[in-house]
Amino acid sequence: MTDALSYFSAKLALETDASDVYAAQKDGERFILVDVRGDEAWAQGRIRGAVHMPYREIAERAPREIDAATPVVVYCWSPGCNAGAKGALEFAKLGYAVKEMIGGYEYWVREGQPTENDEGELPRVFDPQVMVVRAKVES
């Protein structure tokens, strides 16, 4: 039981998910959301409010651009991409409090959270495979 308690406590201390990040944004919690994907991925679409810092650039750029006292949440494409873990590792090496957003951009989009690209806001789509989708009630 102690092993499970330690494991899941540590896991939750270092991971978050799209729903929790969106709620934290709406609540005005203080953190920086960092998209660690490449330039083409960023241009295609990203989470509104995120900053772009590909994981290979974190060691050089983060100390200049992000206050070390600010908590960081990183994300990449999806559960099938480990760039988020690579980015989190780079921030951890620099001493930042960092979490990885599991599910990445894919689950953010599938849950219908706000996204944008260089042209502006992207359509919000709610995927019933990953969340409860309620019919809009007319008043």
Higher pLDDT, 139 or 14: 14
Q: Is 56 exposed, middle or buried (0-12, 13-18, 19+ CB in 10 A)?
A: middle
pLDDT > 70 in the chain, percent: 95
- Does the structure show a pLDDT above 70 at 17? yes
User: Stretch 113-135: mean pLDDT, rounded?
Assistant: 91
pTM of the model: 0.91
pLDDT over 70 at 139, yes or no: no
Q: Is the pLDDT of residue 136 over 90?
A: no
**Per-residue pLDDT tens digits for 85-120:** 999 999 999 999 999 999 999 999 999 999 999 999
Question: Can you name the residues that pair with 16 across neighbouring β-strands?
Answer: 101
Q: Does the pLDDT at position 137 exceed 90? A: no
pLDDT of residue 60: 98
| Mean pLDDT within 23-37 | 97
How far is it, in rounded angstroms, from Cα 55 to Cα 42? 13
Q: Do the beta carbons of residue 44 and residue 117 sit within 8 Å?
A: yes
Q: Which helix (H) or strand (E) holds 7?
A: helix 2-14
CB proximity list for 52: less than 8 A, separation 6 or greater: 34, 35, 37, 39, 42, 46
Report how far Cα 135 is from the mean position of its chain's Cα atoms.
27
